[in-house]
């Protein structure tokens, strides 16, 4: 296989991705509302030459808040504050197509693209979390297919808004008393099934043309959506074989949608516990698991299956698929439900063991070992066609991020798999994505062709 440079994102989640990580002595004691915490993570990730930092989001209070650290800052405003503390690293913020409106979302992200000088991406979600609908005055949670149907319409409108200004629309010429060339700004008049937007946007085209489009759905519906729109895809897999199958399927779907497969970067999650020996790393992992609260795990498992009640099950009985609803009928995180039932079928876990497996990264790949083992595993997945890189999900923050940057990144650099210095100033450049075409340029080309 030809040598390829991998991509690494830092996924920031509370004080770490393990649900008991906040209790660990290497977790921060800064409040989750203290911007200094996020700035320190950004600086460390930038020292490690990461492509970006990723912020997930939920639009309802986590039911486990009594025993798991939560209530963190809203992603978009956090990114705006962190931009001033960094120079190179990108930022990916989550925003919902179900509960936002296209104009305000397009305006917010266009502003972030300017504030960060082209280092921002939008993680497109359709919001499966229970209770979110009631926070927006909607009586029932929209169905999975309906949420994606709106998402297609929504994204189309947002893309039009980002393209409503030509690159040269701002003249800013005080001598001629011309600030903007109004003939280079146009309404979009989008009228879809779910959203209607007149436009144009009231802010100029961003440095990247548009933010990088990111998506995390792995259901059949999610794959179709990603093939059409996503430029980076975050995905959850517990083993390399399923990751490779997903990678192949998504790249093929992108080609079928008329896109180049190298314009879709696939990044599974990895949650590594690093020790000087494999045994030391495994001890840390087991210690974290022993700090978990089974009730918190049950609540999260229930959320993944749309509110299904698992509380009647014995924690130490081996599970069967009959203990779960059919994952294809789940209206919450459908793809994650498939991952969980697949794990149960393969490994015959007890409920307690399943909760421990999910406590670390909620269905993402977890690995305890030496820095060499972590680096070798990353290399193996990339060379095997299972990933273009990884969404790094440290179980404890900042401690396990420090370990990764200081001990794993140098090994990846030594292997020639990862950058030693930033070669681009934009997130689009970090990912190796093509420049975004402008409808204004395309129209001009067509006019020239007609004239000729």
- What are the binding residues for FMN? 57, 94, 144, 148, 218-219
Which residues sit in the known binding site? Answer: 57, 94, 144, 148, 218-219
* Beta bridge partners of residue 233, listed in sequence order: 215, 266
Q: Is 376 exposed, middle or buried (0-12, 13-18, 19+ CB in 10 A)?
A: middle
Q: How far apart are CA 422 and CA 347, in angstroms?
A: 42
Q: How far apart are CA 388 and CA 379, in angstroms?
A: 10
Contact assessment for residue 231 and residue 214, using Cβ atoms and an 8 Å cutoff: yes
Contact assessment for residue 245 and residue 217, using Cβ atoms and an 8 Å cutoff: no
Contact assessment for residue 52 and residue 46, using Cβ atoms and an 8 Å cutoff: no
Give the 3-state secondary structure of 150-180: HHHHHHHHHHHHHCCECCCCEEEECCCCEEE
Residue 49: C-alpha distances to residues 86, 165, 315, 419, 430 (Å): 12, 33, 42, 7, 10
3-class state of residue 217 by DSSP: coil
């Amino acid at each position: 296989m030809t040598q390829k440079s991998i991509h690494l994102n830092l996924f920031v989640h509370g004080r770490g991705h393990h649900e008991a990580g906040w209790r660990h002595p290497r977790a921060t004691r800064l409040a989750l509302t203290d911007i200094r915490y996020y700035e320190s993570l950004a600086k460390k990730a930038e020292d490690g030459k990461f492509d970006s930092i990723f912020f997930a989001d939920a639009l309802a209070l986590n039911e486990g808040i009594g025993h798991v650290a939560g209530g963190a800052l809203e992603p978009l405003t956090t990114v705006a504050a962190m931009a001033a503390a960094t120079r190179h690293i990108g930022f990916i913020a989550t925003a919902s197509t179900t509960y936002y409106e296209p104009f305000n979302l397009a305006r917010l992200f266009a502003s972030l693209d300017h504030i960060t000088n082209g280092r921002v991406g939008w993680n497109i979600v359709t919001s499966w979390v229970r209770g979110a609908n009631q926070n927006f005055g909607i009586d029932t949670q929209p169905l999975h297919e309906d949420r994606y149907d709106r998402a297609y319409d929504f994204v189309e409108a947002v893309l039009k808004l980002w393209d409503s200004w030509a690159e040269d629309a701002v003249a800013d010429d005080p001598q001629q008393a011309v600030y903007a060339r109004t003939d280079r700004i146009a309404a979009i008049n989008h009228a879809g099934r779910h959203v209607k937007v007149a436009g144009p946007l009231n802010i100029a085209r961003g440095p990247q043309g548009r933010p990088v489009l990111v998506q995390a759905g792995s259901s059949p519906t999610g794959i179709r959506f990603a093939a059409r729109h996503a430029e980076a895809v975050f995905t959850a897999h517990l083993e390399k074989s399923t990751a490779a199958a997903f990678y192949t399927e998504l790249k093929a779907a992108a080609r079928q949608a008329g896109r180049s497969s190298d314009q879709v970067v696939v990044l599974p999650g990895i949650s590594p516990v690093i020790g000087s020996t494999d045994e030391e790393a495994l001890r840390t992992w087991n210690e974290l698991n022993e700090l978990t609260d089974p009730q918190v795990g049950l609540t999260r498992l229930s959320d993944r299956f749309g509110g299904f009640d698992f509380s009647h099950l014995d924690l130490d009985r081996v599970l069967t698929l009959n203990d779960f609803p059919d994952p294809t009928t789940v209206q919450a995180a459908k793809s994650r439900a498939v991952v969980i039932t697949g794990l149960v079928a393969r490994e015959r876990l007890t409920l307690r063991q399943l909760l421990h497996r999910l406590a670390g990264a909620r269905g993402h790949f977890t690995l305890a070992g030496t820095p060499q083992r972590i680096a070798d595993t990353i290399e193996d997945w990339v060379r095997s066609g299972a990933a273009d890189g990884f969404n790094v999900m440290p179980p404890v923050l900042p401690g396990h991020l420090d370990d990764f940057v200081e001990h794993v990144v140098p090994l990846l650099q030594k292997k020639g798999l990862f950058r030693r210095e930033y070669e681009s100033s934009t997130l689009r450049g970090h990912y190796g994505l093509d420049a975004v075409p402008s409808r204004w340029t395309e129209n001009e080309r067509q006019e020239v062709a007609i004239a000729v």
